[in-house]
Structure 1
Amino acid sequence: MNKNTPPSREDSFDDDQRRPPDELTRLLPNRLDSTPYLSADDPAVSPYNLWSVRIVRLATVLLTCLTFLFWVLLLVSLFITPPGLHVRGSPFFAFAYTSVAFTTLLVELIFFSVPSRSARMLTVASAALLLVDTIIILAVTKTRHEELWVGVAAALWATLMAIWAVAADRTVQWGKREEEERLTGRPETRRTLFEWSEVLLSSIALSVIVVAVFLMTCTLILRAFDAHLAPPGERYWVDDDKYQVHLYCYGNGTTPSGVKATTVLFEGGEDPVEFGLWQFADNAIRNGSINRYCFADRPGMAWSDAAPSPLSVSTASDILGEALSRAGEEGPWLLVSAGVGSLYSRVFSSRHGQQVKGLLMIDPLHEDLLSHVGSPGRGFRLWLQGVVSPLGLQRNLGALIRGRGAADRIWGRAAYQSGSTIYAKLQESLVGNSLTKRDVISSRAIQDRNTPVVVISSGEQIQRDREWQDKQRDLTHLTNNLEDWDIVKDAPHRVWDTIGGRESIEKRLKKLAKL
Structure 2
Amino acid sequence: MVSLWGSGKNDHGTAESDQRTGDDENQSDSRASVRRGYREPDEHTRLLPRGGEGFLSPDDPAVVSPYNLWSVRALKGLSIILLVITFIWWILLLISMFVTPPMMQTRGSGFFNFSYATLTLGNLIFGLLFFAVPSKPMTVWGLVLAVLLFADMIIILSFPRIRTQEGWVGIASVIWAALIAVHNVGQNQAVSKGKQEEEERLTGRVETRRSLLEWLAVFTETVIMGIIAIVAILLTATLILRARDASLESPGKKYLVDNDKYAVHLACVGVDNGDESTLTVLLEAGERPVEAGLQPFIDTLYQNGTVDRYCYWDRPGFAWSDNAPSPHSAGMSADSLAEALALAGEEGPWVLVSADIGGIYSRIFASRHAHSVHGILLIDTLHEDDLQNVGRPGRGFVLWLRGIISPLGLDRLAGAIFKGRTREDRVFGQSTHQNGRYIKVKLQENLVAEPITSNEITTARRIQTRKTQLIVVSSGLEVGRSEKWAKKQKDLTTITDNLISWDVVKSAPHDVWTASEGRKVLAQRLKQLLRQSHL
TM-score when scaled to structure 2?
A: 0.90
- Paired residues of 1:254 and 1:291 also in contact (CA < 8 A): no
273, 284, 298: which one aligns with 2:301: 284
Shift in Å, 1:457: 0.9
Alignment of 1:297-446 (within 5 A): 297-446=314-463
Give CA-to-partner distance per residue, 1:261-299, whole Å, 9 cap, x none. Answer: 100000010001000211101111122211000011000
166, 179, 182: which one aligns with 2:185: 166
Aligned to 2:123: 104
Q: Does 1:27 align with 2:41?
A: no
For 2:470, the aligned partner's letter is V
Extract unaligned runs of 5+ from structure 1.
Answer: 13-21
Q: Partners in 2 of 1:195 and 1:440 — Cα distance?
A: 63
Q: Partners in 2 of 1:201 and 1:259 — Cα distance?
A: 72
Shift in Å, 1:495: 1.2
Q: Partners in 2 of 1:451 and 1:210 — Cα distance?
A: 59
Give CA-to-partner distance per residue, 1:444-495, whole Å, 9 cap, x none. Answer: 0100011111111111211222211111111111111111111111322111
What is the alpha-carbon root mean square deviation over aligned residues?
Answer: 2.1
Q: Partners in 2 of 1:331 and 1:192 — Cα distance?
A: 79
Q: Partners in 1 of 2:276 and 2:381 — Cα distance?
A: 31
Q: Partners in 2 of 1:161 and 1:365 — Cα distance?
A: 48
1:330 is paired with a residue of what secondary structure? coil
For 2:460, the aligned partner's letter is S
Q: Partners in 1 of 2:472 and 2:432 — Cα distance?
A: 27
Shift in Å, 1:168: 0.5
Shift in Å, 1:38: 3.1
Aligned to 2:60: 41
Q: Partners in 2 of 1:260 and 1:232 — Cα distance?
A: 26
Distance 1:182 1:23, change over 3 A: closer
Aligned to 1:17: none
Q: Partners in 2 of 1:494 and 1:42 — Cα distance?
A: 70
Q: Partners in 2 of 1:391 and 1:259 — Cα distance?
A: 50
Aligned to 2:196: 177
Shift in Å, 1:251: 1.4
Aligned to 1:464: 481
Q: Partners in 1 of 2:156 and 2:508 — Cα distance?
A: 44
For 2:421, the aligned partner's letter is R
Q: Partners in 2 of 1:24 and 1:44 — Cα distance?
A: 12
Shift in Å, 1:23: 9.5
- Paired residues of 2:58 and 2:199 also in contact (CA < 8 A): no
Higher Cα Rg: structure 1 or 2?
2
Distance 1:254 1:509, change over 3 A: farther
1:354 is paired with a residue of what secondary structure? coil
For 2:440, the aligned partner's letter is Y
Aligned to 1:192: 211
Extract unaligned runs of 5+ from structure 2.
Answer: 1-14, 30-41
Identity between Structure 1 and Structure 2 (%): 48
Shift in Å, 1:396: 0.7
Give CA-to-partner distance per residue, 1:1-20, whole Å, 9 cap, x none. Answer: x99685999xx9xxxxxxxx
For 1:371, the aligned partner's letter is Q
For 1:270, the aligned partner's letter is E
For 2:256, the aligned partner's letter is W
468, 488, 493: which one aligns with 1:451: 468
Distance 1:42 1:298, change over 3 A: closer
Number of aligned residue pairs: 501
Q: Does 1:484 align with 2:489?
A: no
Shift in Å, 1:42: 3.8
Aligned to 1:208: 227
Shift in Å, 1:401: 1.1
Give CA-to-partner distance per residue, 1:386-409, whole Å, 9 cap, x none. Answer: 000000001011111111111110
Shift in Å, 1:259: 6.5
Shift in Å, 1:502: 1.2
Distance 1:40 1:23, change over 3 A: farther
For 2:281, the aligned partner's letter is V
